[in-house]
Every structure is written in structure tokens, then in C-alpha cells.
Structure 1
Amino acid sequence: MKNIKVLGTGCTNCKTTTRLIEEAAREKGIAILLEKVEAIADILGYGVMSTPGVVIDGIVVHAGGVPDRKKIDSWLT
């Protein structure tokens, strides 16, 4: 199971990123633990200055803008 965190304050792009990750995991039949991190101090703790950010198993894999589906799929394989 992958532990995925979406970093962002709740903006539209952050919500879209969360939804896309959920959809991709469901379509692939992959179990994930998805957490939304909205506290600015926690987001900055990951070194992310531009949201949404995505952290998988403790590693920042994306920051700034909505990731495309191909990129999300690559995270889940």
C-alpha cells in the first residue's frame, strides 16, 4: 500500500489532484492511504513552496500545478 499525501490549502487544484489520484488508484485496483495536508507549516516542512504538492512514501514527487494522468499512473506502478 502506498502512503500518499496531497499538500495544499484546499484550493481547486489541490482538490483536483486528490480526485485524480483517487480515481487512478481505484481504476488500477491499487490500495492507497491518501491524506490531505493543509497546514502551511507542514507543507513548508516538506520544502514545497508551490501547491499542490504530492508526497509518496515520504518523498516529494511533485509540486506546483495539477499533475497529468500519465504522471499519476507512473507513481502508482
Structure 2
Amino acid sequence: MAKVQVLGTGCIKCGYLMKNAEVAVAERQAGDLVEKVDDIVKVLEFNPSALPALVINGKVVSNGTLPSSEEIKQLIDQSNEGEGL
């Protein structure tokens, strides 16, 4: 199970990234959680270099890009492998 967070301030790109993350999580059917983080103080705690940003299990994995749902699934898998899950 992964925790996927979309960091952004509510722009159109943030919305697309959130939608892609929700699709990826739904397709994985692994009990992953998706969360939108739009509080700027919380966003800055992750220190992203650009927005929107994608965080998986507490680690920023994408900055300023819009990975597809397929790419997000791969990033989740890579994150889980890195944690020995």
C-alpha cells in the first residue's frame, strides 16, 4: 500500500495530476491512498523544485510534470520496491 500525495495550489495542472493519480490508484486496486496537499506551508515542507509535484510514501518523485496514470503506477511500484515491500 502506498500513500500518494499531489502537491499544488489548485492550478489546472494540479487537477490533471490529481486525476491521473486517482486513476492509477484505482487501477492498482492495492489499497493505495491519494491525498491533495494545497496548504502552501505543507507543500513547502516537501521542498519541491516545481509544482505540481507528486509524492509517494513521503518522497518527491516528480516535479513540474504531469506523469500519466501508467507512469504513476510504475513510480508507485518502484517506491514499494525501494522500501522492500
TM-score tier after normalising by the smaller chain length: 0.7 to 0.9
Match of 2:27, SS state, is helix
Q: Which has the higher strand share?
A: 1
Aligned-pair identity in percent equals 34
**TM-score, length-scaled by structure 1:** 0.86
1:4-55 C-alpha deviation (Å, 9 max, x unpaired): 1100011111111111111122122222111111011211111113111111
Q: Which has the higher helix share?
A: 2
Match of 2:44, SS state, is helix
Q: Cα RMSD (Å) of the superposition?
A: 1.4
**TM-score, length-scaled by structure 2:** 0.79
Q: Runs of 4 or more off by more than 6 Å in structure 1? A: none
Q: What 5-or-longer segments of structure 1 have no aligned partner?
A: none
Q: Which residue in the other structure is 1:16 paired with?
A: 16
Q: What 5-or-longer segments of structure 2 have no aligned partner?
A: 78-85
1:65 matched to 2:75? The reply is no
